Amino acid sequence: MGRDRAVSLMDDLRAANPSEHTRWLAEPDEPAFRELLHARYAETYSYPFLYEPGGAVRLWRDGALLSLGEFDTRGALLWHTGLWRRPGRDSLDSGLSVALPSRRTLTGRAEHEALWGSLLERLGRWVGFLHQNTSTLHVMAQRYASRFMRARPMGLVVNYTRGETVIGVEEGLGVPMQALAMTTVLAPPPPRRRYLPEGPWGEWLASILAGVGLAESVTFTPLERRAWREGAVLRPLEWNASLRLERRVLVGFSAEGTPALTSERARVDLIHLPMGEPLWVAEGTPVLLAAGFLPTGIRLHQREPDELVFQYVADPRAACEVVSRARLDGARARELFAGWMERCARTLSTR
Protein backbone atom coordinates (compact mmCIF):
# COMPACT_ATOMS: atom_id res chain seq x y z
CA MET A 1 0.00 0.00 0.00
CA GLY A 2 3.03 2.28 0.17
CA ARG A 3 3.42 2.88 -3.60
CA ASP A 4 1.13 4.49 -6.17
CA ARG A 5 -0.22 1.50 -8.09
CA ALA A 6 -3.64 2.92 -8.92
CA VAL A 7 -3.81 1.48 -12.44
CA SER A 8 -3.15 -1.99 -11.10
CA LEU A 9 -5.72 -1.30 -8.39
CA MET A 10 -8.36 -0.62 -11.04
CA ASP A 11 -7.36 -3.77 -12.93
CA ASP A 12 -7.61 -5.73 -9.70
CA LEU A 13 -11.14 -4.48 -9.08
CA ARG A 14 -12.23 -5.18 -12.66
CA ALA A 15 -11.02 -8.78 -12.41
CA ALA A 16 -14.30 -9.92 -10.85
CA ASN A 17 -17.82 -8.57 -10.46
CA PRO A 18 -18.37 -7.83 -6.78
CA SER A 19 -21.92 -9.25 -6.55
CA GLU A 20 -24.53 -11.31 -8.39
CA HIS A 21 -26.56 -8.54 -10.01
CA THR A 22 -23.87 -5.91 -10.61
CA ARG A 23 -21.05 -5.47 -13.10
CA TRP A 24 -18.40 -2.94 -14.07
CA LEU A 25 -19.44 -0.62 -16.88
CA ALA A 26 -17.65 -0.57 -20.24
CA GLU A 27 -17.75 1.71 -23.27
CA PRO A 28 -20.96 0.23 -24.79
CA ASP A 29 -22.76 1.13 -21.53
CA GLU A 30 -22.28 4.89 -21.84
CA PRO A 31 -25.69 5.62 -23.46
CA ALA A 32 -27.42 3.84 -20.55
CA PHE A 33 -25.29 5.84 -18.12
CA ARG A 34 -26.33 9.13 -19.76
CA GLU A 35 -30.00 8.10 -19.66
CA LEU A 36 -29.71 7.44 -15.92
CA LEU A 37 -28.12 10.83 -15.37
CA HIS A 38 -30.94 12.56 -17.29
CA ALA A 39 -33.61 10.62 -15.41
CA ARG A 40 -32.26 11.65 -12.00
CA TYR A 41 -30.89 15.16 -12.59
CA ALA A 42 -32.40 16.29 -15.92
CA GLU A 43 -29.87 18.86 -17.22
CA THR A 44 -28.74 20.12 -13.81
CA TYR A 45 -25.87 17.80 -12.86
CA SER A 46 -22.74 19.74 -12.04
CA TYR A 47 -20.53 17.80 -14.48
CA PRO A 48 -21.95 18.81 -17.89
CA PHE A 49 -19.36 16.89 -19.90
CA LEU A 50 -20.92 13.62 -18.67
CA TYR A 51 -23.99 14.38 -20.78
CA GLU A 52 -21.81 14.39 -23.90
CA PRO A 53 -21.04 11.22 -25.88
CA GLY A 54 -17.57 10.12 -24.86
CA GLY A 55 -17.56 12.08 -21.60
CA ALA A 56 -17.64 9.05 -19.32
CA VAL A 57 -15.66 6.91 -21.76
CA ARG A 58 -12.66 9.23 -21.49
CA LEU A 59 -12.67 8.80 -17.71
CA TRP A 60 -12.94 5.03 -17.99
CA ARG A 61 -10.13 4.84 -20.57
CA ASP A 62 -7.85 7.07 -18.49
CA GLY A 63 -8.44 5.00 -15.36
CA ALA A 64 -9.77 8.08 -13.57
CA LEU A 65 -13.18 6.50 -12.94
CA LEU A 66 -14.38 2.94 -12.38
CA SER A 67 -18.15 2.58 -12.72
CA LEU A 68 -20.33 -0.10 -11.16
CA GLY A 69 -24.03 -0.67 -11.70
CA GLU A 70 -27.02 -2.94 -12.14
CA PHE A 71 -28.89 -3.29 -15.44
CA ASP A 72 -32.40 -4.59 -16.11
CA THR A 73 -33.23 -7.09 -18.83
CA ARG A 74 -33.84 -4.27 -21.34
CA GLY A 75 -30.43 -2.73 -20.76
CA ALA A 76 -31.50 0.19 -18.58
CA LEU A 77 -29.00 1.15 -15.88
CA LEU A 78 -30.91 1.03 -12.59
CA TRP A 79 -28.21 2.49 -10.37
CA HIS A 80 -24.59 3.54 -10.60
CA THR A 81 -21.73 4.27 -8.25
CA GLY A 82 -18.20 5.33 -9.09
CA LEU A 83 -14.70 5.10 -7.70
CA TRP A 84 -12.38 7.98 -8.61
CA ARG A 85 -8.60 7.86 -8.53
CA ARG A 86 -6.01 10.60 -8.68
CA PRO A 87 -2.35 9.68 -9.15
CA GLY A 88 -0.11 9.98 -6.12
CA ARG A 89 -2.82 9.69 -3.48
CA ASP A 90 -3.15 7.09 -0.75
CA SER A 91 -6.93 7.17 -1.09
CA LEU A 92 -9.79 6.90 -3.56
CA ASP A 93 -12.95 9.00 -3.79
CA SER A 94 -16.46 7.62 -3.96
CA GLY A 95 -19.05 9.51 -5.97
CA LEU A 96 -21.48 9.63 -8.88
CA SER A 97 -23.92 7.50 -6.90
CA VAL A 98 -27.21 7.72 -8.82
CA ALA A 99 -30.37 5.58 -8.77
CA LEU A 100 -33.18 5.51 -11.31
CA PRO A 101 -36.32 7.05 -9.74
CA SER A 102 -39.21 4.72 -8.92
CA ARG A 103 -37.59 1.51 -10.16
CA ARG A 104 -36.96 -1.61 -8.12
CA THR A 105 -33.66 -3.40 -8.33
CA LEU A 106 -32.70 -7.01 -7.64
CA THR A 107 -29.76 -5.95 -5.48
CA GLY A 108 -31.13 -6.33 -1.97
CA ARG A 109 -29.70 -5.39 1.41
CA ALA A 110 -27.73 -8.62 1.84
CA GLU A 111 -26.17 -8.23 -1.60
CA HIS A 112 -25.25 -4.59 -0.94
CA GLU A 113 -23.56 -5.69 2.30
CA ALA A 114 -21.64 -8.42 0.49
CA LEU A 115 -20.78 -6.09 -2.39
CA TRP A 116 -19.17 -3.45 -0.19
CA GLY A 117 -17.62 -6.01 2.11
CA SER A 118 -15.81 -7.44 -0.90
CA LEU A 119 -14.90 -4.05 -2.39
CA LEU A 120 -13.60 -2.55 0.84
CA GLU A 121 -11.52 -5.61 1.63
CA ARG A 122 -9.92 -5.46 -1.80
CA LEU A 123 -9.42 -1.69 -1.68
CA GLY A 124 -7.72 -2.01 1.69
CA ARG A 125 -4.85 -3.90 0.02
CA TRP A 126 -4.03 -0.80 -2.01
CA VAL A 127 -5.14 2.40 -0.26
CA GLY A 128 -5.84 3.56 3.26
CA PHE A 129 -9.03 5.60 2.82
CA LEU A 130 -12.16 6.01 0.71
CA HIS A 131 -13.44 9.61 0.84
CA GLN A 132 -16.79 10.99 -0.26
CA ASN A 133 -18.79 14.22 -0.10
CA THR A 134 -22.29 12.94 0.60
CA SER A 135 -25.45 14.83 -0.32
CA THR A 136 -27.44 16.58 2.42
CA LEU A 137 -30.49 16.95 0.17
CA HIS A 138 -31.82 13.61 1.41
CA VAL A 139 -30.81 11.22 4.15
CA MET A 140 -30.77 7.94 2.23
CA ALA A 141 -27.41 8.69 0.61
CA GLN A 142 -25.84 9.21 4.02
CA ARG A 143 -27.58 6.14 5.46
CA TYR A 144 -26.25 3.99 2.62
CA ALA A 145 -22.71 5.34 3.10
CA SER A 146 -22.69 4.65 6.83
CA ARG A 147 -24.44 1.26 6.76
CA PHE A 148 -22.88 -0.40 3.75
CA MET A 149 -19.65 1.53 3.15
CA ARG A 150 -18.74 1.99 6.84
CA ALA A 151 -18.14 5.71 6.16
CA ARG A 152 -17.81 8.08 9.11
CA PRO A 153 -18.39 11.86 9.27
CA MET A 154 -15.17 13.86 8.92
CA GLY A 155 -16.46 17.38 8.23
CA LEU A 156 -18.60 19.36 5.84
CA VAL A 157 -18.39 21.49 2.70
CA VAL A 158 -20.51 24.64 2.58
CA ASN A 159 -22.53 25.09 -0.65
CA TYR A 160 -20.82 22.12 -2.29
CA THR A 161 -22.95 22.26 -5.44
CA ARG A 162 -25.21 24.90 -6.91
CA GLY A 163 -28.43 24.53 -8.89
CA GLU A 164 -28.77 20.75 -8.93
CA THR A 165 -32.27 19.26 -8.90
CA VAL A 166 -32.60 15.65 -7.80
CA ILE A 167 -35.71 14.30 -9.50
CA GLY A 168 -37.90 12.14 -7.27
CA VAL A 169 -36.44 13.51 -4.03
CA GLU A 170 -38.98 16.01 -2.78
CA GLU A 171 -37.60 16.45 0.73
CA GLY A 172 -34.63 18.49 -0.47
CA LEU A 173 -36.47 20.53 -3.10
CA GLY A 174 -35.25 24.13 -3.12
CA VAL A 175 -32.63 23.53 -0.44
CA PRO A 176 -29.01 24.33 -1.35
CA MET A 177 -26.81 21.26 -1.12
CA GLN A 178 -24.20 21.11 1.57
CA ALA A 179 -21.91 18.09 1.75
CA LEU A 180 -21.26 15.79 4.67
CA ALA A 181 -17.61 14.82 4.21
CA MET A 182 -17.25 11.12 5.06
CA THR A 183 -14.34 8.70 5.13
CA THR A 184 -14.09 4.92 5.19
CA VAL A 185 -10.93 3.86 7.00
CA LEU A 186 -9.61 0.89 5.01
CA ALA A 187 -6.34 0.39 6.89
CA PRO A 188 -5.36 1.47 10.42
CA PRO A 189 -4.10 5.08 10.42
CA PRO A 190 -0.45 5.35 11.45
CA PRO A 191 0.17 5.93 15.17
CA ARG A 192 1.13 9.60 15.45
CA ARG A 193 0.39 12.80 17.33
CA ARG A 194 -2.36 14.88 15.76
CA TYR A 195 -2.05 18.52 16.82
CA LEU A 196 -5.14 20.69 17.06
CA PRO A 197 -5.53 24.38 17.96
CA GLU A 198 -6.65 25.12 21.49
CA GLY A 199 -10.13 26.56 21.82
CA PRO A 200 -13.63 25.89 20.45
CA TRP A 201 -12.51 24.90 16.96
CA GLY A 202 -9.98 22.46 18.34
CA GLU A 203 -12.65 20.85 20.50
CA TRP A 204 -14.89 20.43 17.46
CA LEU A 205 -12.06 18.91 15.41
CA ALA A 206 -11.18 16.57 18.29
CA SER A 207 -14.75 15.23 18.25
CA ILE A 208 -14.25 14.26 14.60
CA LEU A 209 -11.12 12.27 15.42
CA ALA A 210 -12.92 10.64 18.33
CA GLY A 211 -15.55 9.42 15.87
CA VAL A 212 -12.92 7.33 14.07
CA GLY A 213 -11.22 6.07 17.22
CA LEU A 214 -8.32 8.53 17.28
CA ALA A 215 -9.19 10.54 20.40
CA GLU A 216 -6.05 9.45 22.25
CA SER A 217 -3.80 10.75 19.47
CA VAL A 218 -4.91 14.37 19.98
CA THR A 219 -2.69 17.07 21.49
CA PHE A 220 -3.86 20.69 21.73
CA THR A 221 -1.48 23.55 21.04
CA PRO A 222 -2.00 27.27 21.87
CA LEU A 223 -2.28 29.65 18.93
CA GLU A 224 0.68 31.90 18.15
CA ARG A 225 0.50 34.88 15.84
CA ARG A 226 3.54 35.33 13.65
CA ALA A 227 5.69 38.31 14.66
CA TRP A 228 6.62 39.25 11.08
CA ARG A 229 4.63 39.76 7.91
CA GLU A 230 5.22 37.15 5.23
CA GLY A 231 3.14 35.74 2.45
CA ALA A 232 1.74 32.23 2.55
CA VAL A 233 3.20 29.55 0.30
CA LEU A 234 0.45 27.33 -1.09
CA ARG A 235 0.82 24.12 -3.07
CA PRO A 236 -2.07 23.05 -5.37
CA LEU A 237 -3.89 19.84 -4.50
CA GLU A 238 -7.00 19.79 -6.69
CA TRP A 239 -8.93 21.93 -9.14
CA ASN A 240 -12.47 20.81 -9.99
CA ALA A 241 -13.58 23.03 -12.87
CA SER A 242 -17.17 21.76 -12.85
CA LEU A 243 -17.73 22.64 -9.19
CA ARG A 244 -15.18 25.47 -9.22
CA LEU A 245 -13.73 23.80 -6.14
CA GLU A 246 -10.06 24.30 -5.36
CA ARG A 247 -7.93 22.58 -2.73
CA ARG A 248 -4.50 23.91 -1.78
CA VAL A 249 -2.18 23.06 1.09
CA LEU A 250 -0.34 25.64 3.21
CA VAL A 251 3.32 24.60 3.12
CA GLY A 252 5.15 27.64 4.50
CA PHE A 253 5.63 31.39 4.76
CA SER A 254 7.97 33.44 2.63
CA ALA A 255 8.59 36.99 1.47
CA GLU A 256 7.76 35.65 -2.00
CA GLY A 257 4.51 34.03 -0.90
CA THR A 258 1.05 35.27 -1.82
CA PRO A 259 -0.29 38.02 0.45
CA ALA A 260 -3.93 37.06 -0.25
CA LEU A 261 -4.91 33.51 0.60
CA THR A 262 -8.23 33.47 -1.24
CA SER A 263 -8.44 31.92 -4.69
CA GLU A 264 -9.55 34.18 -7.54
CA ARG A 265 -11.20 31.36 -9.48
CA ALA A 266 -12.75 29.14 -6.80
CA ARG A 267 -16.36 29.15 -5.65
CA VAL A 268 -15.51 26.54 -2.99
CA ASP A 269 -12.09 27.54 -1.64
CA LEU A 270 -10.39 24.95 0.60
CA ILE A 271 -6.97 25.12 2.23
CA HIS A 272 -5.41 22.14 4.00
CA LEU A 273 -3.12 22.69 7.00
CA PRO A 274 -0.80 19.78 7.99
CA MET A 275 -1.33 18.84 11.63
CA GLY A 276 1.87 16.90 12.26
CA GLU A 277 3.83 19.71 13.96
CA PRO A 278 2.51 21.81 16.87
CA LEU A 279 4.15 25.07 15.74
CA TRP A 280 2.71 24.65 12.26
CA VAL A 281 -0.83 24.39 13.65
CA ALA A 282 -0.20 27.14 16.21
CA GLU A 283 0.99 29.65 13.59
CA GLY A 284 -1.02 28.57 10.55
CA THR A 285 -4.43 28.55 12.20
CA PRO A 286 -4.51 32.27 13.12
CA VAL A 287 -3.35 33.22 9.61
CA LEU A 288 -6.20 31.24 8.02
CA LEU A 289 -8.80 32.48 10.49
CA ALA A 290 -7.76 36.10 9.92
CA ALA A 291 -8.13 35.60 6.16
CA GLY A 292 -11.72 34.36 6.52
CA PHE A 293 -11.11 30.61 6.44
CA LEU A 294 -12.93 28.45 8.98
CA PRO A 295 -12.14 24.83 9.91
CA THR A 296 -14.52 22.43 8.20
CA GLY A 297 -12.99 19.00 8.77
CA ILE A 298 -10.04 16.63 8.74
CA ARG A 299 -8.37 14.65 5.94
CA LEU A 300 -6.46 11.56 7.07
CA HIS A 301 -3.40 10.19 5.28
CA GLN A 302 -1.19 7.14 5.42
CA ARG A 303 2.15 8.43 4.16
CA GLU A 304 1.87 12.19 4.76
CA PRO A 305 0.79 14.17 7.83
CA ASP A 306 -2.94 14.37 8.40
CA GLU A 307 -4.50 17.73 7.54
CA LEU A 308 -7.01 20.18 8.92
CA VAL A 309 -9.35 21.43 6.20
CA PHE A 310 -10.35 25.12 6.16
CA GLN A 311 -12.95 26.70 3.85
CA TYR A 312 -13.22 30.36 2.95
CA VAL A 313 -16.50 31.68 4.38
CA ALA A 314 -17.15 35.25 3.26
CA ASP A 315 -20.44 35.56 5.16
CA PRO A 316 -20.62 33.42 8.34
CA ARG A 317 -24.25 34.42 8.96
CA ALA A 318 -25.34 33.18 5.53
CA ALA A 319 -23.23 30.05 5.91
CA CYS A 320 -24.86 29.20 9.24
CA GLU A 321 -28.31 29.64 7.64
CA VAL A 322 -27.73 27.33 4.69
CA VAL A 323 -25.92 24.71 6.78
CA SER A 324 -28.84 24.69 9.24
CA ARG A 325 -31.14 23.53 6.42
CA ALA A 326 -29.10 20.42 5.64
CA ARG A 327 -30.88 17.08 6.00
CA LEU A 328 -28.80 14.70 8.08
CA ASP A 329 -28.97 11.06 9.08
CA GLY A 330 -27.80 10.01 12.52
CA ALA A 331 -26.83 11.72 15.74
CA ARG A 332 -23.14 11.90 14.82
CA ALA A 333 -23.75 13.92 11.65
CA ARG A 334 -26.24 16.21 13.40
CA GLU A 335 -23.79 16.88 16.24
CA LEU A 336 -21.03 17.66 13.76
CA PHE A 337 -23.15 20.21 11.88
CA ALA A 338 -24.54 21.74 15.09
CA GLY A 339 -21.05 22.11 16.52
CA TRP A 340 -19.82 23.80 13.36
CA MET A 341 -22.75 26.23 13.26
CA GLU A 342 -22.24 27.18 16.92
CA ARG A 343 -18.58 28.01 16.31
CA CYS A 344 -19.28 29.69 12.97
CA ALA A 345 -21.80 31.98 14.70
CA ARG A 346 -19.10 33.11 17.15
CA THR A 347 -17.08 34.56 14.27
CA LEU A 348 -19.85 37.11 13.61
CA SER A 349 -18.70 39.14 16.60
CA THR A 350 -15.07 39.15 15.47
CA ARG A 351 -15.44 40.26 11.84
CATH code for the domain of 32: 3.40.630.30
pTM above threshold 0.95: no
> What is the tally of structural domains in the chain?
2
Domain final residue, candidates 168, 185, 202: 185
User: For position 229, what pLDDT does the model report?
Assistant: 61
Q: How far is C-alpha 252 from the geometric centre of its chain's CA atoms?
A: 25
293 pairs with which residues across the strands? 312
Tens of pLDDT, residues 321-336? 999 999 999 999 999 9
Expressed as residue numbers, the domain containing 290 is: 194-349
**Pair 238, 246: CB distance under 8 Å:** yes
Domain final residue, candidates 185, 208, 234: 185
Same domain, 201 and 326: yes
Same domain, 40 and 67: yes
Amino acid at 289: L
Asked if pLDDT for residue 194 goes beyond 80, the answer is yes
**Pair 166, 172: CB distance under 8 Å:** yes
Domain final residue, candidates 185, 202, 232: 185
Q: What is the helix (H) or strand (E) element at residue 331, kind and residue range?
A: helix 331-346
Tens of pLDDT, residues 113-157? 999 999 999 999 999 999 999 999 889 999 999 999 999 999 999
Cα 16–22–27 angle (5° rounding)? Answer: 80
